[in-house]
């Protein structure tokens, strides 16, 4: 098994709030991955 991308225990903290705790993922050869997130302007308007 070949692993192209592996992320282990990533954390996203914004303003003292833990948004994503302990994210782990593996993207194997031939798989697709898309990360969608709101920009700063969209967070203020929401």
Q: Tens digits of per-residue pLDDT, 1-46?
A: 666 888 999 998 988 999 889 999 999 888 988 877 766 655 555 5
Compute the residue count for the chain.
46
Confidence (pLDDT) at 33: 86
- Provide the domain count of the chain: 1
- The answer to whether 6 touches 26, Cβ cutoff 8 Å, is yes
Phi, psi of 14 (to 5 degrees): -130, 115
Confidence (pLDDT) at 30: 87
Helices H, strands E: what count in the chain?
1, 2
- 26 is in which domain, residue-wise? 3-45
């Amino acid at each position: 098994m070949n692993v192209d991308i592996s992320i282990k225990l990533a954390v996203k903290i914004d303003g003292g709030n833990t948004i994503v705790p302990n994210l782990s993922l593996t993207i194997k050869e031939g798989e697709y991955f898309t990360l969608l997130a709101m920009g700063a302007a969209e967070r203020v308007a929401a």
